[in-house]
């Protein structure tokens, strides 16, 4: 018999509803239809909404006639081992839907590789010969995606070849192909696949109980009670078994060379990675890659995904260039006017600038052309702005919009003459990475913000603490920190507890830690606000962390007014 893992805890009703909403949102994004009411959702073996498979479900809704497929899925529930056949059908649908969707959604490549790795790794807990034939075929499908190969028996090899549906098939042809597979290889005929619109939920939960665990996510109809724990993203599945030294090397190869030497980094980590974050690591980088040739296939894939995402961000920005440009103009005007009113600036007479109507007479009668005012900010009261982007995998479905919003902020504030620094954070293994796209003295590098890409987990509290440390080293008297985040802290490394029981870094514990760091920043004189990028269910977290200095953007047309209002309020209170 194959070994079974201990069953995880049962999700609360609130958590289960939250995951259902998350799955629905992932499907909406992939389908491009926010009026859709999906009746299929995918959850990993622990009950959490699976990013990749829900993206595939959305792609199926987009490219195929789902009701046609649904009839066969419902009919399978009446057949012996019907749930296993459903799972097998979804494996075939994954293949054709991915091939249809990947050109439009390049991020699917990384998600698919991560999902395949999770299945192969899960299979290590089993004697492969004890797996059901359907799971062996599914395992081999994903093993070959990763470049591996296992010699299946001839019968199973034929099944896999027929199951990997090509993308050009119609929905009716997909159903017919699956019916032929079931009849030829499993003896399941049409009479055993009656569609009676049962509407019942499969008892096979992708977990434990009535039968052994399935490999990978399970696509189910409707809502169910689920199991839960911290979900993993593709990049963290890669680093799961690495030593701290290997994680540092991997992070450096993926994200860029460190900004500080080993001695400086040790001093920084001794200061920041303690108490609740004891055992964590930090990596600060400008994204500059080393000259040595990279041979690690995982790193090559990760770099490629980052490059493709940067291209997707630029394509998205250009597609909405008119709206984005208008947002820059409006936000620039609003912030510039606020600066003129509230900051301790001097206005000098000049031959160019803003016309001073009170002195026009001097040009007429005295020939004095200095009837304009030039704005000059005094250095002792200069305002700096840091823009901190949540770069975790929970942002995968909105990377383009986050990058566009960050660029609008950077460009607008640069036009106002303000020093701006833009950087992102994510956590890989036990290492929180802060990648700087443009620094205060690099106004010409605003476009680098569009290199933003998401991966890994998010240890928000440690990232905010690191941002505070960076701010403490600046010469500016007035400092504003703007975060773009979904306010859903989540990390696999638990919160360290002196003498107590370590807590999972998610939910209440993660939110409380993040809120404490924001409060600490404010006590140090840093004004902090958040542009919320998450889902409705995460709004309470955002309010808990940032209080009233929070803005939610529903469309780019609202960006300048909504964000500008909070920025103006914060500048006015400095």
More confident call, 465 vs 207: 465
Helix (H) or strand (E) holding 67: helix 66-76
Domain boundaries, the chain: 13-229, 244-290+300-333+382-572, 347-377
The mean predicted confidence, pLDDT, of the chain is: 82
More confident call, 240 vs 275: 275
> What is the chain's length?
574
Cα torsion for 147, 153, 156, 160, to the nearest 10°?
Answer: 20
More confident call, 143 vs 11: 143
pLDDT (mean) for 501-518? 90
Q: pLDDT at position 461, please?
A: 95
Cα torsion for 257, 260, 264, 267, to the nearest 10°?
Answer: -70
Place domain 244-290+300-333+382-572 in its CATH homologous superfamily. Answer: von Willebrand factor, type A domain (3.40.50.410)
Q: Is the pLDDT of residue 566 over 80?
A: yes
Q: pLDDT at position 366, please?
A: 67
Q: pLDDT at position 217, please?
A: 66
- Alpha carbons 78 and 125: distance in angstroms, whole number: 30
Phi and psi torsions of 45, nearest 5°: -60, -20
Q: pLDDT at position 372, please?
A: 73
**Centroid of chain to Cα 62:** 22
Listed residue (186, 181, 180, 112) closest to 145, CA to CA = 112
More confident call, 499 vs 531: 531
Give the tens place of pLDDT for each residue, 210-249: 233 456 666 665 433 333 333 344 455 455 557 888 889 9
Both structure tokens of 326: 């208008």
What letter would DSSP give residue 49? B
Phi and psi torsions of 64, nearest 5°: -130, 170
| pTM of the entire predicted model | 0.59
Q: Is the pLDDT of residue 352 over 90?
A: no
- Please state which of the ranges 21-35, 97-111, 192-206, 508-522 shows the lowest mean pLDDT: 192-206
Q: Is the pLDDT of residue 379 over 50?
A: no
CB 142 within 8 A of CB 163: no
Q: Is the pLDDT of residue 371 over 90?
A: no
């009950």: which residue's tokens? 47
Strand runs (DSSP E) across 122-253, as ranges? 218-221
Most confident by average pLDDT, 345-354, 405-414, 451-460, 497-506: 405-414
């Amino acid at each position: 018999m194959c070994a079974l893992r201990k069953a995880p805890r049962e999700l609360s009703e609130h958590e289960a509803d939250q995951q259902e909403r998350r799955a629905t949102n992932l499907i909406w994004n992939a389908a491009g239809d926010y009026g859709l009411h999906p009746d299929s959702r995918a959850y990993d073996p622990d009950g959490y909404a699976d990013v990749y498979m829900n993206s595939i479900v959305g792609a199926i809704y987009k490219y195929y006639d789902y009701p046609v497929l649904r009839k066969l899925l419902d009919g399978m529930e009446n057949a012996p081992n019907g749930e296993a056949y459903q799972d097998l059908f979804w494996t075939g649908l994954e293949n054709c839907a991915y091939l249809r969707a990947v050109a439009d959604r390049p991020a699917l490549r990384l998600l698919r590789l991560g999902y395949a790795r999770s299945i192969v790794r899960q299979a290590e807990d089993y004697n492969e010969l004890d797996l059901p034939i359907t799971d062996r075929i599914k395992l081999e499908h994903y093993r070959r995606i990763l470049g591996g190969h296992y010699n299946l028996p001839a019968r199973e090899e034929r099944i896999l070849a027929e199951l990997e549906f090509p993308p050009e098939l119609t929905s009716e042809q997909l159903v017919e192909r699956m019916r032929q597979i079931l009849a030829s290889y499993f003896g399941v005929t049409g009479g055993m696949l009656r569609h009676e619109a049962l509407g019942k939920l499969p008892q096979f939960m992708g977990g434990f109980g009535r039968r052994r665990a399935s490999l990978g996510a399970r696509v189910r109809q409707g809502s169910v009670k689920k199991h839960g724990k911290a979900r993993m993203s593709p990049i963290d599945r890669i680093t799961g078994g690495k030593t701290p030294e290997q994680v540092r090397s991997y992070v450096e190869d993926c994200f860029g060379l460190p900004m500080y030497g080993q001695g400086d980094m040790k001093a920084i980590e001794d200061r920041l990675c303690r108490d609740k974050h004891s055992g964590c690591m930090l990596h600060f980088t400008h994204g500059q890659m080393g000259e040595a040739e990279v041979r690690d296939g995982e790193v090559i894939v990760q770099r490629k995904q980052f490059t493709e995402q940067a291209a997707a961000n630029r394509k998205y920005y250009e597609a909405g260039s008119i709206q984005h440009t208008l947002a820059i103009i409006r936000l620039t005007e609003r912030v510039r006017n606020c600066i003129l009113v509230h900051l301790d600036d001097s206005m000098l007479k000049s031959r160019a600038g803003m016309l001073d109507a009170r002195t026009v007479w001097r040009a007429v009668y005295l020939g004095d052309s200095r009837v304009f005012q030039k704005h000059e900010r005094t250095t002792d009261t200069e305002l700096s702005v840091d823009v901190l982007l949540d770069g975790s995998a929970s942002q995968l479905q909105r990377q383009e919009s986050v990058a566009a919003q960050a660029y609008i902020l950077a460009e607008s504030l640069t036009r106002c003459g303000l020093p701006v620094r833009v950087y992102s954070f994510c956590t890989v293994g036990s290492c929180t990475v802060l990648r700087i796209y443009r620094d205060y003295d690099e106004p010409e590098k605003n476009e680098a913000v569009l290199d933003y890409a998401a991966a890994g987990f998010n240890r928000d509290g440690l990232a905010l603490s690191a941002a505070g440390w960076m701010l403490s080293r600046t010469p500016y008297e007035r400092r504003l920190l703007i975060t773009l985040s979904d306010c859903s802290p989540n990390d696999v490394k638990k919160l360290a507890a002196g003498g107590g029981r370590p807590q999972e870094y998610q939910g209440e514990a993660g939110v409380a830690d993040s809120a404490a760091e924001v409060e600490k920043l404010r006590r140090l004189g840093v004004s902090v606000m958040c542009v919320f990028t998450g889902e409705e269910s995460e709004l309470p977290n955002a309010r808990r962390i940032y209080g009233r200095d929070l803005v939610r953007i529903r469309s780019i047309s609202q960006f300048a007014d909504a964000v500008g209002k909070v920025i103006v309020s914060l500048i006015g209170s400095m």
